[in-house]
């Protein structure tokens, strides 16, 4: 299979401080790829620059062979890349239904089927479609954030720590959904602190450390890697 996303020598700096130091990695189409690393490693910055929210210093981001770096966020969404931001960021003053509709903001076609699809993934959201998103529980907000990112009919969904602050059972549910949407053909680029779960679902994985990619391999390989075990899985050598 081909690479849907190719990151080449991407650098991002904030006011002179280099947060990402020329990283390169590929995301194969139809796969789940995960990026793990400790706090401040530059994982969110990577996703945010792919989404066009943060300007990169240099490098290339090839999506389906086309450089999308430097495009505006709306053009990137139009190409089929969406981001579930860290900390959910649902619109608290919009209803659940409106949050989903706004996920399809750029689409001109009928979104009724997509709504049904998201509701079938998250029946809880259907029950609460008229509730203001700000009043949802953390887990429900995360479901909404994921559902909202699917409403644009993306080819690639990037998720920034979807398990953040959620109970284990809810985390399991989110990971089940990640597997399910991936089976249905959506490529997933996942950032996680929960390295154990992320590596289990991932086809391939990269470890980031202070703005650089230090390790890569299949999910299973990294799961067995001694360094990874010690640093991210909390296991002693």
Ligand X SMILES: Nc1ncnc2c1ncn2[C@@H]1O[C@H](COP(=O)(O)OP(=O)(O)OP(=O)(O)O)[C@@H](O)[C@H]1O
* Residue 51 tokens, joined: 């989404």
Distance of CA 51 to the CA centre of its chain: 10
* Contact status: 53 vs other proteins (CB under 8 A): yes
What are 58's strand-pairing partners? 11
Binding mask 152-191 for other proteins (x = CB under 8 A): x---------------------------------------
Choose which of 24, 67, 72, 180 interacts with other proteins (CB under 8 A).
72
If one asks whether residue 138 binds other proteins (CB under 8 A), the answer comes out as no
| Total of chain residues touching other proteins, rule CB under 8 A | 24
40 binds, among Mg ion, other proteins, ligand X, none (CB under 5 to 8 A by kind): ligand X
CA distances from 98 to 50, 128, 133, 144 (A): 26, 12, 9, 11
- Cβ contact 12:45 at 8 Å: yes
User: Smallest distance, Å, CB 82 to other proteins?
Assistant: 7
Under rule CB under 6 A, residue 146 binds ligand X:
no
Is 55 or 179 the residue whose CB approaches ligand X more closely? 55
CB neighbour list of residue 130: distance below 8 Å, 6 or more residues apart: 95, 96, 97
**Residue 44 touching Mg ion (CB under 5 A):** yes
**Strand order in 58-63's β-sheet?**
17-28, 3-14, 58-63, 66-67
How many of the other CB atoms lie within 10 Å of CB of 168? 10
**Residue partners of 223: CB distance under 8 A and separation at least 6:** 196, 199, 200, 229, 233
- Among 74, 116, 176, 184, which residue sits at the site for other proteins (rule: CB under 8 A)? 74
Beta-sheet pairing, 17-28 with 32-37: unpaired
Closest separation in Å from C-beta 203 to other proteins: 25
Question: Is position 86 an interface residue for other proteins (rule: CB under 8 A)?
Answer: no
Least Å distance, CB 41 to other proteins, is 21
Of the candidate residues 103, 147, 211, 219, the single one contacting other proteins (CB under 8 A):
103
Instruction: Tell me whether residue 52 or residue 219 sits nearer to other proteins (CB atom).
Output: 52
Q: Show contacts with ligand X in window 14-43 (CB under 6 A).
A: 14, 19, 37, 39-43
The token pair that represents 78 in the structure block: 């139009």
Q: How many CB atoms lie within 10 A of CB 117?
A: 16
Q: Which residues bind ligand X (CB under 6 A)?
A: 14, 19, 37, 39-45, 86
Q: Which residues bind other proteins (CB under 8 A)?
A: 51-53, 72-74, 77-78, 82-83, 85, 89, 91-94, 98, 101-103, 105-106, 148, 152
């Amino acid at each position: 299979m081909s690479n849907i996303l190719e990151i080449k020598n991407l650098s991002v700096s904030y006011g002179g401080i280099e947060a990402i130091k020329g990283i390169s990695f590929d995301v194969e189409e139809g796969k789940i790829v995960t990026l793990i690393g400790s706090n401040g490693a530059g994982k969110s910055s990577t996703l945010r620059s792919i989404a066009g929210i943060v300007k990169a210093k240099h490098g290339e981001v090839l999506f389906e062979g086309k450089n999308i770096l430097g495009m505006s966020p709306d053009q990137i969404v139009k190409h089929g890349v969406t981001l579930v931001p860290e900390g959910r960021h649902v619109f608290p003053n919009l209803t659940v239904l409106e949050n989903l509709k706004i996920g399809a903001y750029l689409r001109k076609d009928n979104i009724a089927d997509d709504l049904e699809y998201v509701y079938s993934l998250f029946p809880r959201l259907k029950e609460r479609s008229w509730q203001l998103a700000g009043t949802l529980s953390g887990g429900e907000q995360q479901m909404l954030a994921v559902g909202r990112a699917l409403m644009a009919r993306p080819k690639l969904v990037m998720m920034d720590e979807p398990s953040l602050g959620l109970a284990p059972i809810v985390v399991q549910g989110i990971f089940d959904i990640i597997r399910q949407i991936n089976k249905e053909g959506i490529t997933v680029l996942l950032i996680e602190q929960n390295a154990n779960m992320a590596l289990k679902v991932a086809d391939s994985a990269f470890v980031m450390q202070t703005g650089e990619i230090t390790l890569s391999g299949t999910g299973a390989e990294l799961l067995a890697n001694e360094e990874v075990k010690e640093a991210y899985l909390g296991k002693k050598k």
